[in-house]
Structure 1
């Protein structure tokens, strides 16, 4: 089993749901490949620009606290092996494995499309979630700055927005985010899975190190930005040991709100995660999967509304109790954040504010 340095997925496993072509090579040919082509190279990252017809995605899920979102990018170079968004690449005849983290798509017209959407007379404001599928601050944001352009439109229109990221690159837009915060228009969540940089490199090889994420939380809090630490995902026997350490580190940075999400393994994520376990933690792979299945009704994943985000069973109850006790002991108040929609003003399509 080949492990690709700097990548999360072990393979470029194709989807069986859509009958994508899977390559099978003859053993003799595999033996001769390196003699002919030389040593295998690390998969390179490519970015394709795309121009969709719309930029806001709406949902009616009872399990998540928002009804609209923006994804400036498809695919994510962070390479988090557990990412529940990996199966979306299968819709485009690409592998949810290595393709998801190496064949990326950017939407350079996103801010223009958002402006057009917000300007429609029929549009009614509600917080827009960014980073719910792929990370808005993954490395290519440094080149494209699509997330920054979107925030500029939100600030102009006085439109509320939430941001979820695993990157301290969010601080590059602190000037805009702090302005949004002063108007109660933004909340930021930074996801931290462990406090072990070595483990993080295996789980999420191109995401910011845990210490950088914790420090970013402190900078956000210092700037008056409503921010919280998201312990997500929790992986039994891999990352659960870091619960108290993450909470303590965040609390020391002035963070008073925290949440957690148990690992989910929809569709192709489950076999990819199993491959990763066998490559990096063969000694506990069966234990990890057995614990996950104990919380998901005996399956690798529970896709049902109302229960998919609420793991059940003894292990889940134990972790839930640990979280509650740690929150109380460390002084987390877990205040609910309610963003302001009352100041919304429709942006003009020529970039000039309306006088009405």
Structure 2
């Protein structure tokens, strides 16, 4: 007997269930207890675990990405975006990429000091650092922990270039640092807008700021002289793809200088989570959406090959790319931006009992 997804959906959460992760040998399913009594599900509270990281900077060699290093102040993300491609990373912690990903979070308060130590190594070679590529650094718990702001202070002091991706309006708190770094060519920000429909956004991204609020954030960042990219990501076929041009135009009108887009990605446990979500919220479109996605990935839910995973391939993917290019030209948006400066980098000073002679 399959669980009744309609009646078992947690409130204000993106995932419908705690899908079994790929390392767990035991599969768990909800079953009715046999009593014909309607009961409200208990509210899922957010739990935060503190982690003391030994290292912080992660390196990658993906040709699909414009950066080779990133940091993550947090693991998991309370925004709860059901489509988040980072959900499978929670399996490495022995937790579910489903509800655990958005309710059982990990904060890394020592991250600023670990970052300072790594930047101070003699072997370190400066290059733009990305933040927000796995989980959002401006998710709600940042208001309490302030780890992201402390990391920015380290990067600002060192003159290190950084690119941030976020949906969080809390980034406005750090405009003082961001503007100072942007003035020196060390900062750019990407704000992700998936849809302009507030109801759809609340269903897909239950604890992220609504689209109108994100556009207001773009406006404030741009007014402070911070280069902002409007990211129409992810595009969902037969659900949000019709909004591509409208999202780009709204971002441009708010002050974004550049733009990008990515197709919906369903790696590992994200695919069953996404399909559960469709069954609850859009059962009438579920087959059509999945058919389009599989059409772009050789009949599979997802194709992880470099050069294919971000946008897919085939007639539909080419159509979206063509529309995107036409919209960029019409709106005066750029796809590529000027490289950030790396010549201002000064490694953090190492603590020493001996005074410097210079």
TM range (shorter): over 0.9
Q: 1:241 Cα deviation (Å)? A: 1.6
How far did residue 34 of structure 1 move?
Answer: 7.0
Matches within 5 A, 1:129-144: 129-144=130-145
Structure 1 position 222, deviation (Å): 1.1
Q: Is the 8 A contact 1:55 1:113 kept in 2?
A: yes
Q: Shift in Å at residue 254 of structure 1?
A: 2.3
Name stretches of at least 5 consecutive residues in structure 1 with no aligned partner.
none
Q: Which residue of 2 aligns with 1:102?
A: 103
How much is the aligned-residue C-alpha RMSD, in angstroms?
2.0
Whole-angstrom CA distance in 2 between matches of 1:256 and 1:206: 27
Which deviations, in whole Å up to 9, do the C-alpha atoms of 1:314-355 show, x marking residues without a partner?
11111111111112122223342311110110112449x989
Residues 33 and 170 (structure 1 numbering): CA distance in 2 closer, same or farther, change over 3 Å?
farther
Shift in Å at residue 4 of structure 1? 1.4
2:350 and 2:96 map into 1 onto residues whose CA distance is: 38
Unaligned stretches of 5+ residues in structure 2: none
**What residue is the counterpart of 2:47 in the other structure?**
46
Q: Who is 1:14 aligned against?
A: 20
Contact (CA 8 Å) 1:163, 1:189: kept in 2 or not? Answer: yes
What SS class does the counterpart of residue 249 from structure 1 fall into?
helix
Task: Give me the whole-angstrom Cα distance separating, in 2, the residues matched to 1:25 and 1:276.
Answer: 16
Work out the CA distance in 2 between the residues paired with 1:125 and 1:256: 25
Counterparts of 1:203-352 in structure 2 under 5 Å? Answer: 203-350=204-351
Contact 2:230/2:252 (<8 A) preserved: no
> Contact (CA 8 Å) 2:64, 2:306: kept in 1 or not?
yes
1:299 is displaced (CA, Å) by: 0.6
- The alignment of Structure 1 onto Structure 2 pairs a total of residues equal to 351
SS at match of 1:188: strand
Structure 1 residues 237 and 24: CA distance shift in structure 2, 3 A: closer
Q: Is the 8 A contact 2:20 2:28 kept in 1?
A: no
2:125 alignment partner, SS class = coil
1:31 aligns with 2:39: no
Question: What CA deviation, in whole Å up to 9, does each residue of 1:260-281 have, x standing for no partner?
Answer: 0001000000000000001000
Secondary structure (helix, strand or coil) at the match of 1:11 reads: coil
Residues 217 and 26 of structure 1, relative CA distance in 2, 3 Å threshold: closer
**1:190-209 matched pairs, under 5 angstroms:** 190-209=191-210
Which secondary structure state, in structure 1, belongs to the residue aligned with residue 34 of structure 2? helix
Deviating more after overlay: 189-198 vs 244-253: 244-253
